[in-house]
Amino acid sequence: MAATETLTAERILEATEEVLRRYGPAKATVVDVARVLGVSHGSVYRHFRTKAALREAVTERWLERTIVALGPYVEAGGPADERLTGWLTALFALKRKKAGGDPELMATFQVLIGENSAVVDRHEEHLVEQIARILEDGHREDLFAAPERDFATTARAVFDATDRFHNPAHAADWSAPDVEDAFTAVVSLVQRALRA
Amino acid sequence: MAATETLTAERILEATEEVLRRYGPAKATVVDVARVLGVSHGSVYRHFRTKAALREAVTERWLERTIVALGPYVEAGGPADERLTGWLTALFALKRKKAGGDPELMATFQVLIGENSAVVDRHEEHLVEQIARILEDGHREDLFAAPERDFATTARAVFDATDRFHNPAHAADWSAPDVEDAFTAVVSLVQRALRA
């Protein structure tokens, strides 16, 4: 890659993901990242002061893609109950695709996720906020009843109740023959709970 | 232990659990079990034809304790919605106690559980049947609405929706400060979904 291109944080993160995919989280170094970019490792450190900061940023970028992909279900028009089912279905599909489509990259990010629990907590909060916004819309549309405490608490409960279908700890179960039926039954339970 | 006592399957299983606790699942042998009982290993094999069969039986016995402990919530009188919350709360408490109180035995049984997925499937079916019985009672008492498909499907959905609070894969989260609130919110969501 030409070093003459401006070295942006985004370019460094892209290269870091590539290096992580190639060498694995145990072996990947900042020097490898610099080599891929054709720059000195000092140039990389000017953007990310430590290797840990770089790994944290790449984890955040990877998780952020999910938030972006789910955005349409939050922003779009249409009845909130359908958008909620769409959001939950899309999240499950994204997680399954990540787990099944590129198991090595998934394993790599499982290691990074273990190292960066604060990033994961913030990511979960973003996901819960997306649910909360759909719940508020649904309440305004008279589709969903008022929450028992507040939208944030109910949104968290919806997120937790569907944990089996987005938490990578359950990835091994996602190829079971009855997983679609199980997912549909839980979503239907959640919808019944929310209904006005 | 006196070999003159009748050698029952139950006594062998008790000794096996003791041996597993002492030596761990990788090292425990049938010879160790026989030694604890003061009998020949041939006597043990007359009850359990293989080491694998013995390990399966001890796993089943360990899981069965949970079913027995939860029995009162299924059999007892009282409103079904309260019994359901009681059942879910007791299951969470049992699992937390197992995970936190005796981490070595828990780790041992996690290995055995990995070896005996059919036993675990049957165990989950038993738990789901217990929920289904409470749901049927609740419907009879006009506390719970008719299930969308059938009691078994709804019971499975209740079990799956509360997975974060009984699946040992989540044991690391069970000491988080907000876990009680998260549990209460999910149970409240489930109760709203079932309400007549």
Query: Domain containing A24 — which CATH number?
Result: 1.10.10.60
CA dist., res. B26 & res. A35, Å (int): 45
Q: Structural domain tally of chain B?
A: 2
CA A123 to chain B, closest CA, distance in angstroms equals 16
Residue B13 lies in a domain: yes
Q: Is there a single domain that holds both residue A90 and residue A142?
A: yes
CA dist., res. B183 & res. B178, Å (int): 9
Let me know: does B24 contact B108? Beta carbons within 8 Å. yes
Q: Is there a single domain that holds both residue B34 and residue B70?
A: no
Q: Is there a single domain that holds both residue A78 and residue A166?
A: yes
Chain A, nearest residue to B191 by Cα: A193
Give yes or no for residue A2 having a pLDDT over 70: no
CA A149 to chain B, closest CA, distance in angstroms equals 9
Overall average pLDDT of the A67-86 stretch: 95
Q: Which of A153, A156, A186 lies at the smallest CB-CB distance from B157?
A: A186
Q: Is there a single domain that holds both residue B64 and residue B160?
A: yes
Q: Token match 């995970």: residue?
A: B99
The C-alpha torsion from B130 through B131 and B134 to B138, rounded to 10°, is: -160
Tell me if chain A has a CB within 8 Å of the CB of B158: yes
Q: Is there a single domain that holds both residue B43 and residue B87?
A: no
Which pLDDT score is estimated for A4?
57
CA dist., res. A92 & res. A69, Å (int): 12
Which pLDDT score is estimated for A183?
97
Of residues A76 and B54, more confidently modeled: B54
Chain A, nearest residue to B190 by Cα: A193
Overall average pLDDT of the A93-110 stretch: 85
Residue B42 lies in a domain: yes
Q: Is there a single domain that holds both residue A42 and residue A72?
A: no
CA dist., res. B82 & res. B137, Å (int): 12
Distances (CA, A) of A88 to A22, A63, A80, A94, B163: 32, 16, 12, 10, 17
Which pLDDT score is estimated for B116?
87
Residue A1 lies in a domain: no
Query: Domain containing A82 — which CATH number?
Result: 1.10.357.10
Which pLDDT score is estimated for B128?
98
Chain A residues touching residue B193 (CB < 8 angstroms):
189-190, 192-193
Chain B residues touching residue A156 (CB < 8 angstroms):
182, 185
Chain B residues touching residue A190 (CB < 8 angstroms):
161, 189, 193
The amino acid present at A110, given as its one-letter code, is Q
A156–B182: do the CB atoms touch at under 8 Å?
Answer: yes
Torsion over CA: B112, B70, B103, B18 (sign):
negative
User: Nearest to residue A138, comparing CAs of A126, A124, A155?
Assistant: A155
Q: Is there a single domain that holds both residue B61 and residue B157?
A: yes
Q: Token match 């109950």: residue?
A: A81
Q: Is there a single domain that holds both residue B114 and residue B164?
A: yes
Q: Is there a single domain that holds both residue B95 and residue B165?
A: yes
Residue A3 lies in a domain: no
pLDDT above 90: percentage of residues in chain A: 77
- In order along chain B (196 residues), what is the average pLDDT of each group of 10 residues? 74 94 91 95 94 94 94 93 98 90 82 89 96 97 94 97 93 90 97 95
CA B49 to chain A, closest CA, distance in angstroms equals 31
- A–B interface: beta-carbon pairs under 8 A: 71
CA dist., res. A178 & res. A193, Å (int): 23
Q: Say how far residue B195 (Cα) sits from the centre of its chain.
A: 27
CA B182 to chain A, closest CA, distance in angstroms equals 7
Residue A99 lies in a domain: yes
CA dist., res. B15 & res. A103, Å (int): 41
B161–A161: do the CB atoms touch at under 8 Å?
Answer: yes
Q: Is there a single domain that holds both residue B40 and residue B61?
A: no
Q: How confident is the model at residue A79 (pLDDT cuts 50, 70, 90)?
A: very high
Q: Is there a single domain that holds both residue A107 and residue A19?
A: no
Q: Which of B163, B185, B192 lies at the smallest CB-CB distance from A153?
A: B185
Let me know: does B56 contact B116? Beta carbons within 8 Å. yes
Q: Is there a single domain that holds both residue A114 and residue A132?
A: yes
Range of the structural domain that residue A78 is part of: 55-194
Chain A, nearest residue to B149 by Cα: A185
A188–B148: do the CB atoms touch at under 8 Å?
Answer: yes
Q: Which of A148, A149, A189 lies at the smallest CB-CB distance from B161?
A: A189
B164–A160: do the CB atoms touch at under 8 Å?
Answer: yes
B189–A158: do the CB atoms touch at under 8 Å?
Answer: yes
Residue A75 lies in a domain: yes
